Structure 1
Amino acid sequence: MQRSLKWFAVLTTIGMLFVLIGGALVTKTGSGMGCGRSWPLCHGEFIPSNINTELLIELSHRIVSGVVGLMVLILSIWSWRTIGHIRETKFLAIVSFVFLFLQGLIGAAAVVWGQSDFVLALHFGISLISFAAVFLLTLFIFEVDQKFDAQSVALERKMKWHIYGIIIYCYIVVYTGALVRHKQASLACPSWPFCSNTRFFPTQLHEWVQMGHRFAAGLLFIWILFATIHAIKHYKQQRVIYWGWIIALILVSCQIFTGALVVFTKLNLYIALAHAFFISCLFGVLSYFVLLATRSKKEQTATQSTKTSPVPSTILK
């Protein structure tokens, strides 16, 4: 039973990634109206008669989202009944399904009634929260047999400040990136890192949206770099934190690199989807840090542990 739940949790997490990437694909290919103003049907038909690329992309995203939504519901109920004794399980089970359902409602409303670009930018962020909840549920399921033990991690106040601050700020960066896509401002600035080779400041709205996102992403990289340096200096004995921040730094570096390539390649689709993939993975890692922070020992114990005490062997596994 436990083994089946693990496999199902992993598949559901992967499915959520497909939902995130699929949503980005719909936006980047301009396929949001591939099925017209009809939802959940396509042009009012159960089986569309006039099939084109935009319709296939939009319909595929709807089907994948529906199937994964059912998987999330099953995982929520299954994990609730199996590992409901873990205090965060029930909360995450509710969040994972509710936010995925909310994401679907926003998508449906956008098709039927239309929405502003600023509202549509929330679509990806809401899906990201659902993905993070499913990802953490999966970790809880694997944690039952004590392959790793988040309870043993000890964090001092400065590290907790980094974790809580970075994940909130990362969500803001995600929103600015989604706004770039929905405002179709991905190529508003033909140069990188500045908007133009001849001028430093943007001159119109689309350029401000694009440069605002670049500036926000740059600050995110710097903040994660500082947190990683702090982890390398003070958390060598706690490998979950040590390697976790190194992975986060790699992911945010890949995020910035693919963002630059989006400009240089004139919005290459595969690079643009990789850009969405890396930020999704980064947000998952940061969400895990939040879990560790909420389970961390008291600050005075954490400070002593990071300096003198070796980490329990269960973390090293």
Structure 2
Amino acid sequence: MMNIQKRLKQLSFASMAGMFLILVMGALVTKTESGRGCGDDWPLCNGKFVPAYTIESFIEYSHRFVVGVVGLILLATTILVFLYSKRKDAKWYVGGAMLFTVLQAILGAMAVVWPQSSAVLALHFGFSLLSFAFTLLLYLVFTRFGEAMNQGGRTRLSAGIRWAVWGVLIYSYVVVYLGAFVRHTEAVGGCIGWPLCNGEVIPEMVGGTTVVFIHRVAAALLGLSILALFLFIRTQASPGSAVYRAALYSLVLVILQILSGGFVTLAIGYDIYLVASLLHAVLVSCLFGVLCYLGITSLYTAEQSKLQAYAAPRLP
């Protein structure tokens, strides 16, 4: 049994690391405009199993190859989890990861064969992000963080804060989608300069400027929301609890995320732009993963509160 548990932990880690790599490579495909590097063919590349070497075809086909390998690893993980794991939450997480991995693969194939709108293409990153989040939660189940997650960090959060956690989590996904939408349009240079947009606090809302400015405002509101959430959580959770640490990490990551957004804008037109864009994608993936952990942990604080209330002595 110990060998099985060790194998489950190893496979879940491989799935999580693979999904993270898929996210980064997907961002690389978008930023280098390599999505059409294999033409309209799928799963072949320009009609060949091993395509002729071009930068675009290499990037696109490498991305497809990694998705295939990680998909097989996740499939093996799914089978072992359902056969040998007694954790119901692990089965939910691996099932969610498999579902969104299949969806993002289908959407990716459709984008190659049939040209899609920017709104649909942005969903591809969104599905990949959900797959990563589920594999992250799955891996944490088999670590000490999983035990802390189950216990809710032995913290009692009010219902209002628990609702706020999930509200911020859902809103963060909306902000991520807006960012992915910006990447898939010609709006990237809509706002020149940072933190001002085209030298103005509120720029003229035309074309790509509108899209980028809305994303900036949404990102700023997300930062303020996470700051407020952390300040509320620290009034009810001890510094050593899982909830407190997750809220603190979320605050640090959202600050870094906002700064990296500024870095992306200032790097437009320079060789470092690609690095800045990939850093932005990495940070948003980490932020969303930590927020998901915070959301799940907050659910267990609700169960902890119910148990403590039930165990409390009742006055006659």
TM exceeding 0.5 = yes
Aligned-pair CA distance for 1:302: 8.9
Equivalent residue number for residue 284 of structure 1: 289
Q: How has the CA–CA distance of structure 1 residues 12 and 198 changed in structure 2, closer, same or farther, with 3 Å as cutoff?
A: closer
Q: State the secondary structure of the residue aligned to 2:148.
A: coil
Aligned-pair CA distance for 1:70: 1.1
Please say if 1:91 is aligned against 2:92: yes
Equivalent residue number for residue 33 of structure 2: 30
Q: State the secondary structure of the residue aligned to 1:233.
A: coil
Aligned-pair CA distance for 1:233: 2.7
Report the AA paired with residue 91 of structure 2. K
Equivalent residue number for residue 142 of structure 1: 143
Equivalent residue number for residue 266 of structure 1: 268
Equivalent residue number for residue 118 of structure 1: 119
Alpha-carbon contact 1:163-1:293 (below 8 Å) kept: yes
Q: 1:1-317, aligned counterparts within 5 Å?
A: 1=3, 2-49=5-52, 51-83=53-85, 85-142=86-143, 148=148, 150-151=150-151, 152-197=154-199, 200-236=202-238, 239-266=241-268, 268-298=273-303
Alpha-carbon contact 1:195-1:202 (below 8 Å) kept: no
What count of residue pairs does the alignment treat as equivalent? 301
Q: Distance in 1 between matches of 2:80 and 2:161?
A: 34
Q: Return structure 1 stretches of 4+ with deviation > 3 angstroms.
A: 146-149, 297-304
Report the AA paired with residue 236 of structure 1. S
Q: TM-score, normalised by structure 2?
A: 0.89
Q: Distance in 1 between matches of 2:6 and 2:165?
A: 32
Identity over aligned residues, as a percent?
38
Q: Distance in 1 between matches of 2:308 and 2:220?
A: 30
Aligned-pair CA distance for 1:300: 5.7
Q: Distance in 1 between matches of 2:198 and 2:174?
A: 25
Q: TM-score, normalised by structure 1?
A: 0.89
Alpha-carbon contact 1:155-1:302 (below 8 Å) kept: no
Q: Distance in 1 between matches of 2:266 and 2:203?
A: 19
Q: How has the CA–CA distance of structure 1 residues 82 and 143 changed in structure 2, closer, same or farther, with 3 Å as cutoff?
A: farther
Q: Distance in 2 between matches of 1:303 and 1:172?
A: 35
Q: How has the CA–CA distance of structure 1 residues 86 and 217 changed in structure 2, closer, same or farther, with 3 Å as cutoff?
A: same
Q: How has the CA–CA distance of structure 1 residues 202 and 74 changed in structure 2, closer, same or farther, with 3 Å as cutoff?
A: farther
Q: How has the CA–CA distance of structure 1 residues 199 and 149 changed in structure 2, closer, same or farther, with 3 Å as cutoff?
A: closer
Aligned-pair CA distance for 1:194: 2.7
Q: Deviations over 1:78-135 (max 9, x none)?
A: 122222x322232222211111111011111011011000110111111111111111
Q: Distance in 2 between matches of 1:45 and 1:12?
A: 28
Q: Distance in 2 between matches of 1:111 and 1:5?
A: 34
Where structure 1 has 5 or more consecutive residues not aligned to the other structure, the ranges are 305-317
